[in-house]
Amino acid sequence: MTEKEKSHAGLLYQPGDPALAADRDVTVQKLYDYNRLHPLDREARQAAIRGLLGKVGENCVVEQPLFCTYGYNTTVGDNFFLNVNGKLMDSGKITIGNNVFIAPNVCIVTEEHAMDTERRLAGLEYTHPVTIGDNVWICTGAIVLPGVTIGADSVVGAGSVVTKDIPPHSLAVGNPCRVIRSV
């Protein structure tokens, strides 16, 4: 298996692999170009996002600046909005549904380092996919950790740290994030 295949399979892999490093270099250039586009040049921004992310639905708005690891591991549905300072740490898959609104300074992470010191010092890590269902709103400053699924029609409160799955139709808040009621 390649290091990329190991990553997508949730196996311990080496992110310093030359092929992955080359992919990240391409992404860094695409992000540099995207983040320097004029904010009102909507056509150029739309074309750049389609060239950066793995799949982009209709009516997709991604405000600048944007940060991501690869871009191609992230897919977003229709009517997607990501506000300023979005961070998509997508060494693993990030799948986002339709009608999802993500507020400023939200970070979605798929990577985690090895727990044992020897492997961690060797630079090894795992990825765990993140899935966000349809009609979700993630409020300002939330952090979504590896392996989490946020169910459809849910709201994640500002500043929340999402460490576990959030069921559909839930309002979840806090650190760690927990469901406080149905919506």
Marked catalytic residue, from 8, 38, 113, 169: 113
- Give which of 70, 95, 77, 71 is closest to 147, Cα–Cα: 95
Q: Are strands 161-162 and 143-144 parallel, antiparallel or unpaired?
A: parallel
**Separation of alpha carbons 113 and 123, rounded Å:** 8
- Give which of 106, 72, 77, 107 is closest to 92, Cα–Cα: 72
Instruction: Give the Cβ contact number of residue 80 at 10 Å.
Output: 24
Helix (H, G, I), strand (E, B) or coil at 94: strand
**Separation of alpha carbons 55 and 3, rounded Å:** 22
Q: Is 8 a catalytic residue?
A: no
Task: Please give the C-alpha separations between residue 132 and each of 70, 88, 98, in angstroms, as whole numbers.
Answer: 18, 13, 9
Largest CA distance in the chain: 48
Active-site residues, by number, are 113
